[in-house]
Amino acid sequence: MSAVACSDAVAVVGMACRLPGNITSPKEFWEVLFHGRDVITDAAPEHPRSAILPAGILSDDVLTGFDHAHFALTAEEAAALDPQQRWGPELVDEALQHAGIAPSTLRGSRTGVWWGSSFLDQAITHLGAGSAAMTMVDTAAALPSMAPGRISRAFDLRGPSELVDTACSASLVALHRACQALRLGEVDLAVVGGANALVLDTHTRMFRNSGALSPTGRTRPFAADADGFIRGEGAAVVILQRLSDAHRAGAPVRACVLASATNNDGASPGGVGAPSHRAQAELLRRVYTEAGIDPAAVDYVQTHGTGTRSGDNAERAALDAVLGRAGSAQQPVWLGSVKSNVGHLEGAAGLASLIATVLALQNETIPPTAGHTRPMPQLHDNGALRVPTQSVPWPAGQDGQPRLAAVSAVGFSGTNAHAILAEPPPPLEAAGEPAAPGAGAQLVPISAAGQSELATTADAWAS
């Protein structure tokens, strides 16, 4: 890692997620990734949400449940909320716990919130009806722009609070904006999230009519038999700090964001929604050049990887032009895509990919791409880009350098994003720190908002 990259690094200190397959934690997400499983729900006429299947969907309790009392909301107000306005505060609470940060310490702080979303189902459903009895509460509960504001209000955060909507690249663009704000000193802590909920079948029908959805019901990125993507719903949140601040606070640094950048396809051929491999390659060249990082040092890329012919071809061409290593098939760049596991989370897709990449760095393992058997013919050209079909041990970086990975996202809007990640540096040794305690009884303090919640939490800890 260059000195410049290290001094500018942003630490990922906390993560939380709600994903298909009853995934409610990063640990559960890693289990699915490591074993190369997909958690797609197949179409079934008797299923209550059959109109959107096959898809990666959340269980009913996750989709509709919300601990409204914990966030001082009435049951009536909570019932009207857009699902992502319910998931946001809960996941931020969990991500702060993951980071070892007491939410109460952030009240009035310069903590910013950036939220990626392209989900409009709730607004269409509730605002489109135009009920004469509609109030400001109903409007606020449905507007996508209220999702980050709901989080800022719940935790009394005084930094920027912004919605980012660049379609499928939204949450990775949100991450880029948060990293910029940290590096510029605009905020001291950043909350980045993204969500997608499949409430209406409108967009599913649109994607199906356009030929983008897989008729065989699975997403197969960079595969010879790829035939489109499958939609998915869920949410993800990460907590970011400047690396120097994280070290001073003793925060658990899980990975470092060394650099990130965004651009747009501009007036590329093919019309709206057609990806541009030239624009994607331009973005890759710029971010690596400006960060002073050799692209050849990147071992793993969590790609956008939709499994569509045009999307995968454009992304492969851009990655090959910048990250491909001619004649180094023994040391390839591994290409993954969580869309093969959980479906395409659209506005939240980039952040789901980011969490998957952090988990791969932490576990020193490159996970397989679910259901991949035969690579697309273009990947045979030099073998420098490869899709893993089983978990691959991730060797340590050469000459003491950290393992490097990257995340890409491509938006229907033409906005592309790319972030370069590294495993965290070794923890700083603090002088005079006591030795770790040995075996024996340990005191575990437990807190909760009320007596019944305390009992539930104690039960969970006891097991």
Verify whether residue 179 is a known catalytic residue. Answer: no
Q: Which domains does the chain have, with CATH numbers?
A: 3-422 (3.40.47.10)
Per-residue model confidence (pLDDT) at position 388: 96
Q: Please tell me the distance from the alpha carbon of residue 52 to that of residue 211, in angstroms, as a whole number.
A: 15
**C-alpha distances out from residue 425 to 212, 255, 403, Å:** 41, 9, 10
Model confidence at 138: pLDDT above 80: no
pLDDT band, residue 131 (cuts 50/70/90) = low
Burial level of 201, CB count in 10 A (0-12/13-18/19+)? middle
Q: How many CA atoms lie within 13 A of 400 on its CB side?
A: 3
pLDDT tens per residue, range 178-200? 999 999 999 999 999 999 999 88
Instruction: Return d(Cα 89, Cα 38) in angstroms, integer.
Output: 27
Considering just the CA atoms, what is the radius of gyration of the chain in Å?
22
Please state the pTM of the whole predicted model: 0.92
Q: Which of 168, 179, 256, 418 is catalytic?
A: 168
Tokens of 265: 């396809």
Q: What is the pLDDT of residue 78?
A: 86
Residue 198 and residue 121 in contact, taking contact as beta carbons nearer than 8 Å: yes
Which pLDDT belongs to residue 65? 82
> Distance between the two ends of the chain, CA-based, in angstroms?
41
Instruction: In whole angstroms, give the CA distance from residue 37 to residue 293.
Output: 33
Is residue 82 classed exposed, middle or buried when 0-12, 13-18 and 19+ CB atoms within 10 A define those classes? Answer: buried
Pairing of strands 255-264, 10-18: antiparallel
Spatial separation of the C-alpha atoms in residues 14 and 254, rounded to whole Å: 8
Ramachandran angles phi, psi of 146, nearest 5°: -80, -15
Give 434's pLDDT tier (boundaries 50, 70, 90).
Answer: low
Residue 244: HSE in the Cβ half-sphere, 13 Å Cα cutoff: 8
pLDDT, one tens digit per residue, over 263-272 is 999 988 877 7
Kindly tell me if the per-residue pLDDT of 44 is higher than 50: yes
Tens digits of residue pLDDT in 278-318: 999 999 999 999 999 999 999 999 999 999 999 999 999 99
Sorting pLDDT into bands at 50, 70 and 90, what band is 133? low
Q: What value does the mean pLDDT take over residues 141-149?
A: 84
Query: What's the pLDDT score for residue 67?
Result: 86
Q: Is the pLDDT of residue 437 over 60?
A: no
Predicted pLDDT at 431: 39
**What is the average pLDDT score of the chain?**
90
Which tens digit of pLDDT belongs to each residue from 380-396? 766 799 999 999 999 99
Q: Averaged over 346-368, what is the pLDDT?
A: 98
Contact 42, 53 (CB under 8 A): yes
Distance CA 262, CA 177 (A): 10
From 98, 176, 304, 418, active-site residue: 304
In sequence order, what DSSP letters do the residues of 29-52 get, joined into one string? HHHHHHTT---PBPP-TTSTTGGG
**What residues contact residue 435 under an 8 Å CB cut-off, 6+ apart?**
none
Contact 240, 171 (CB under 8 A): no
Q: For residues 160 and 184, give the distance between their C-alpha atoms in angstroms, rounded to a whole number.
A: 13
pLDDT on residue 440:
77
Q: What is the pLDDT of residue 430?
A: 45
Comparing C-alpha atoms, which of 177, 152, 169 is closest to residue 240?
A: 177
Q: Is 344 a catalytic residue?
A: yes
Q: Match 């791409």 to its residue by tokens.
A: 369
> Which is catalytic among the residues 203, 344, 372, 418?
344
Catalytic status, residue 418: no
Residue 128: predicted pLDDT: 66
Q: Is the preceding peptide bond at 424 cis, omega within 30 degrees of 0?
A: no
Mean pLDDT of the 215-221 span: 97
pLDDT (0 to 100) of residue 448: 81
Instruction: Say if CB 190 and CB 240 are below 8 A apart.
Output: yes
The band of 422, judged by pLDDT with boundaries at 50, 70 and 90, is very high
Around Cβ 142, how many Cβ atoms within 10 Å? Answer: 22
- Per-residue pLDDT band for 4 (boundaries 50, 70, 90) equals very low
Residues in the chain: 463
Surface-to-core class of residue 85, CB atoms within 10 Å of its CB (0-12 exposed, 13-18 middle, 19+ buried): buried
Is residue 405 over pLDDT 60?
A: yes
- Three-class secondary structure of residue 198 per DSSP: coil
CA distance 153 to 107: 10
10 Å Cβ neighbour count for 378?
14
Average pLDDT over residues 235-240: 98
Q: How far is CA 106 from CA 97, 208, 315, in A?
A: 13, 44, 40
Mean pLDDT to the nearest integer, 438-460: 83
